[in-house]
Amino acid sequence: MSTVAVLGLGNRGKNYGGHLNKLDGVKIVSICDKYQAKIDKVKSAWKVPDDKCFTDEDKFFAQGKIADVMVIATQDRDHYGHAIKALNLGYNLLLEKPVSPDIKECLEIEKLAREKGLKVLVCHVLRYANYYRRIKQIIDSGVLGEIKLIKHDEHVSWWHFCHSYVRGNWRREEETTPMLLAKCCHDMDLLYWFAGAKCKSLSSYGELSYFTKANAPKGATATCFDCPHKDTCIFECEYQYIGRGLKRNKFPWGTYAFCTTGKKKDVAEALRNGERGKLWSRCVFGCDNDVVDCQTVNMEMENGVKIVMTANAFNEKDHRHTEIRGTKGELIADDTGSVIQLKLFDKKPKKIIVNIIPVIKGHYGGDQGITKSTADMLAGKLDPNGQYTWIKDTIESHRIVTAAEISRKNGGRKVDMTEIPDIEK
Ligand SMILES: NC(=O)c1ccc[n+]([C@@H]2O[C@H](COP(=O)([O-])OP(=O)(O)OC[C@H]3O[C@@H](n4cnc5c(N)ncnc54)[C@H](O)[C@@H]3O)[C@@H](O)[C@H]2O)c1
């Protein structure tokens, strides 16, 4: 039996714990979250005894090593401290991304794990989704010839962007991470994986251009409740989170961030009076957000592959669009419906539909994929030819984002990757 301890029972920790709990040969033996309500939501389903449930991380860590692996799913700036404590106790880790906004901290975790002979899988879950695995297989099969250009767009929907990056947890860089790291370290990881080489140099542009006070409609109030634009504004909080006047079925989404029950009356109360909920009733043009809403990154990889990546908030739906061009053909893929179009030169085009699991339902199956790999890791059943997201591979995505942020903050100057610290040889 492999044993698991989970630290952080928010959206991600609850999700990984839920998948792990369903696997044969895996038992969750201890859990910790600052909020008792989050513990109460899972402890019976996961059969964790009361004396192994903690709201105080010091007491949780004071148990010593009581499981084979620790899931660390706390917030971005806490991963480093929690990972170092857990590695020093001898835990293998399933560690949420981004590992840390500070590349030196990422390198420290990698070094400590290496020195202690412990395994750290980073939750770059997209690599475990069949859709992205299929793209990688096609590249590796050679049918596209030599890859010359990759274009990849992360289209974040306007409602998701507002929830997370304007009103929500990832709105301020100093509290969490730059948007490119929070939202796109996955994408940087995929691009490095697809290109098959590390980045040589890059440049980046981006800014917070729309969700600012200057763009507030005339007379807009600080919160939505008494705003004169209440009935027409698409960002209005009761429209977004309670579904008032609901015309489409994508709302309400994200209420888990500030309301544990998700019931309409509790959501309404949380938006008006909840300690956290009040954050999500603020006007999107009057928040304290500072992360970018539109960014581009231009990369040259060490093997000559050129990459253009974009991320922006101005989309109806969340989706990623990828184009890969080689000397023998092109691959055009969109994860809406997981469709890959293969156009080999002078041949009949082919459409491949991989599987239709939406991103919001577990990253197209990637969440289940990584938890299964965690169980395989503990049971010593990893595929020797398998593609896993070990910390040493994750470092490159975090180096790329570090370089892109230096470039973006310096007017798009070219950054040579030798400027960015790397794993010691
Ligand atoms: N892999 C992915 O695709 C993916 C997607 C979204 C978010 N994330 C990342 O996952 C992490 C968690 O995100 P989330 O959406 O679950 O956030 P969340 O805020 O819902 O969950 C974090 C949980 O950790 C708890 N917590 C924080 N500090 C704690 C402490 N010291 N002791 C005990 N509990 C503590 C909080 O109470 C909360 O329940 C973040 O780093 C985020 O950037 C990853």
Same domain, yes or no, for 307 and 321?
Answer: yes
Same domain, yes or no, for 165 and 313?
Answer: yes
Same domain, yes or no, for 101 and 77?
Answer: yes
> What is the pLDDT at residue 384?
83
pLDDT at 358 exceeding the cut of 60:
no
Q: Whose CA is nearest to atom 34 of ligand 1?
A: 33
d(C-alpha 106, C-alpha 302), whole Å: 22
44 assigned to some structural domain: yes
Ligand 1 pocket residue status of 365, Cβ below 6 Å: no
* Listed residues 281, 309, 331: the one ending a domain: 281
216 assigned to some structural domain: no
Same domain, yes or no, for 253 and 314?
Answer: no
281 secondary structure, DSSP code: G
Q: Which residue has the tokens 């709302």?
A: 251
Q: Whose CA is nearest to atom 17 of ligand 1?
A: 10
Which amino acid, 248?
A: R
371 assigned to some structural domain: no
pLDDT tens digits for range 89-105:
999 999 999 999 999 99
> What is the pLDDT at residue 284?
98
pLDDT at 248 exceeding the cut of 70:
no
Grouping H, G, I as helix, E, B as strand and the rest as coil, residue 21 is: helix
What average pLDDT does the segment 193-201 reach? 98
Same domain, yes or no, for 199 and 270?
Answer: no
CATH code of residue 55: 3.40.50.720
CATH code of residue 304: 3.30.360.10
Mean pLDDT (the chain) is: 94
Name which of 401, 177, 409, 410 is nearest 309 in CA terms.
Answer: 401
What average pLDDT does the segment 352-359 reach? 71
Same domain, yes or no, for 117 and 154?
Answer: no
- 235 alpha carbon to ligand 1 midpoint, in Å? 24
Is the sign of the CA dihedral 387, 365, 167, 259 positive or negative?
negative
d(C-alpha 388, C-alpha 393), whole Å: 9
> What is the pLDDT at residue 103?
97
Same domain, yes or no, for 135 and 165?
Answer: yes
- pLDDT band, very low/low/confident/very high, at 337 (cuts 50, 70, 90): confident
Using most ligand atoms within 8 A of CB, pick from 15, 30, 34 the residue to mutate for ligand 1. 34
* Phi, psi for residue 207 in degrees, rounded to 5: -165, 170
d(C-alpha 300, C-alpha 298), whole Å: 7
Domain of residue 190: give its range: 129-211+290-360+390-419
pLDDT at 376 exceeding the cut of 80:
yes
d(C-alpha 12, C-alpha 164), whole Å: 14
Same domain, yes or no, for 198 and 240?
Answer: no
- pLDDT band, very low/low/confident/very high, at 226 (cuts 50, 70, 90): very high
380 assigned to some structural domain: no
Q: Going edge to edge, which strands form the sheet with 199-207?
A: 350-353, 339-344, 329-334, 319-326, 147-157, 306-315, 294-301, 199-207, 415-416
d(C-alpha 402, C-alpha 364), whole Å: 27
pLDDT at 360 exceeding the cut of 60:
no
* Listed residues 125, 152, 172: the one ending a domain: 125
Same domain, yes or no, for 154 and 299?
Answer: yes
372 assigned to some structural domain: no
- 169 alpha carbon to ligand 1 midpoint, in Å? 9
pLDDT tens digits for range 108-143:
999 999 999 999 999 999 999 889 999 999 999 999
pLDDT at 286 exceeding the cut of 80:
yes
Same domain, yes or no, for 407 and 317?
Answer: yes
Grouping H, G, I as helix, E, B as strand and the rest as coil, residue 171 is: coil
> What is the pLDDT at residue 356?
63
263 assigned to some structural domain: yes
* Listed residues 97, 125, 153: the one ending a domain: 125
158 assigned to some structural domain: yes
Same domain, yes or no, for 93 and 21?
Answer: yes
Ligand 1 pocket residue status of 76, Cβ below 6 Å: yes
pLDDT tens digits for range 149-174:
999 999 999 999 999 999 999 999 99
> What is the pLDDT at residue 262?
84
269 assigned to some structural domain: yes
Number of folded domains in the chain?
A: 3
Same domain, yes or no, for 252 and 336?
Answer: no
Mean pLDDT is lowest, of 113-117, 241-245, 281-285, for: 241-245
